Amino acid sequence: MRFDILTLFPDMFSSPFRESIIGRAIEKGLIEVRTINIRDFALDKHRVVDDTPYGGGQGMVMKVEPIARAIEWVKSQNPSAWTVHLTPQGKPFNQELASSLSSRPHLILLCGRYEGVDERVRELFVDEEISIGDYVLTGGELAAMVLIDVVARLLPGVLGSDRSAAEDSFFNSLLEYPQYTRPLDFRGKCVPEVLLSGNHAAIALWRRKEALRRTLTRRPDLLARANLSEEDRRLMEEILQERETDKGGDGA
């Protein structure tokens, strides 16, 4: 899969993409990440990429022409490349959207700056607008890094095990179950006995129940779109009964 990042600050990406899982995926040729400096597509001698907004207002707006030339240059190599604008006005980024993007072999990621981009960029060149959260970043570069990290994890061979992504939080609209490693006892907090039992069926059932419990406690909104089985519903009933029992004990 290929990611082309259109940015005014390409050096921001050099270190993050040399490290860890993404760095290894690039080395193996599983993904390709290119940074493209939008200033290279400004034709004047000062390589100007922004201007004051029509109608007045604070700040500067990124000009349409350099961005258009950059996108058209990438699309001359692959007309089917999908253009994503990282903006707080976009649809919220989540695991489902990441899965959809992972099926596209080539993404163009446009990183906005200043007060945003000329509206004609959105109208003429952008296929999709995405936000990584309800807050405002200095620019779209950090959002692009997040998107690439999330999407790349879903590609075959990027993680050590294909099951790893399937067990992550949000994959099935549930948070991940609790994880433990050595030592067995840390300051009186012990690893649950079921994880030491060697009974893989019992462990799987415990993990599923704890994933449901954690989602109900921390992100109950996710359960509305979770695809729960009959077994999941039975576990949910147990969790709710245990909650009621705990409340009764607290009031005694």
- pLDDT by residue for the chain (252 residues), tens only, comes to 999 999 999 999 999 999 999 999 999 999 999 999 999 999 999 999 999 999 999 899 999 999 999 999 999 999 999 999 999 999 999 999 999 999 999 999 999 999 999 999 999 999 999 999 999 999 999 999 999 999 999 999 999 766 566 666 676 789 999 999 999 999 999 999 999 999 999 999 999 999 999 999 999 999 998 999 999 999 999 999 999 999 887 654
Q: Catalytic pick from 47, 153, 207, 208?
A: 153
Cα angle 99, 103, 107; round to 5? 100
CB 59 within 8 Å of CB 112? no
Check 53, 104, 115, 128 and give the catalytic one.
115
Domain regions of the chain by residue span: 2-162, 185-251
Of 59, 117, 56, the C-alpha closest to 85 is 117
Stated pTM of the model: 0.88
Query: Distance (Å, rounded) from C-alpha 55 to C-alpha 27?
Result: 48
Q: Which residue of the set 53, 65, 69, 88 is catalytic?
A: 88
Task: Judge whether 66 counts as a catalytic residue.
Answer: no
The closest of 76, 88, 81 to 126, measured between CA atoms, is 81
To which CATH superfamily is domain 2-162 assigned? SPOUT methyltransferase, trefoil knot domain (3.40.1280.10)
CATH entry 1.10.1270.20 includes domain 185-251? yes
Residue type, 7: T
Is 168 a known active-site residue?
yes
**Catalytic: which of 65, 128, 129, 168?**
168
